């Protein structure tokens, strides 16, 4: 869609999930947080028309495993988007830096190499309270927000490929 009245053309995806098949890869570590992120993601998909039977949830042990499984899910060529959800809470050691950094770097690599959107929904917080605040009910839930981005990107990718959104 071009911006009307603007000298600059603007192309923006639309947000709808009807007819889409979406994979959600979710970490079991910090499950009290990641289950809430998953609930947000599933609520977003339902609200935007994605049929429940077109949503596949893949559970992994922790954030470290998210890139590995996301890459394999992309290779299946069954999904229009992949949503990766996890939570890494800073502790007293450098472990946080390694896990959070590699999850971010790995998912970035998968996303750049993928023909479908792969979105990053990994919370990296200092405290459990901060994580729970970002995994609350409603549209402020980060699982919901990144899933919304995934739906928009599916449409934008289609426009970039010359197909209708």
Task: Tell me the catalytic residues.
Answer: 95
Return the SS3 of 121.
strand
- Can you list the alpha helix ranges (DSSP code H) found in the chain? 31-47, 66-76, 95-113, 128-134, 142-160
How far is the C-alpha of 104 from the C-alpha of 101, rounded, in Å?
Answer: 5
What does residue 124 show for φ and ψ, rounded to 5 degrees? Answer: -130, 100
DSSP one-letter code for 64? G
DSSP one-letter code for 100? H
């Amino acid at each position: 869609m071009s911006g009307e009245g603007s000298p600059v053309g603007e192309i923006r995806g639309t947000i709808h999930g009807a007819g889409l098949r979406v994979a959600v890869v979710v970490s079991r570590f910090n499950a009290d947080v990641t289950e809430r992120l998953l609930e947000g993601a599933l609520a977003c998909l339902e609200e935007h028309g994605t049929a429940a039977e077109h949503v596949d949830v893949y559970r992994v042990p922790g954030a470290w495993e998210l890139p590995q499984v996301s890459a394999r899910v992309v290779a299946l060529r069954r999904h229009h988007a992949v949503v990766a959800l996890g939570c890494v809470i800073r502790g007293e050691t450098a472990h946080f830096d390694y896990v959070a950094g590699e999850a971010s770097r790995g998912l970035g690599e998968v996303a750049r190499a993928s023909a479908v959107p792969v979105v990053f929904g990994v919370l990296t917080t200092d405290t459990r309270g901060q994580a729970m605040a970002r995994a609350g009910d409603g549209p402020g839930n980060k699982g919901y927000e990144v899933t919304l981005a995934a739906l928009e990107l599916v449409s934008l990718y289609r426009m970039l490929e010359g197909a209708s959104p």
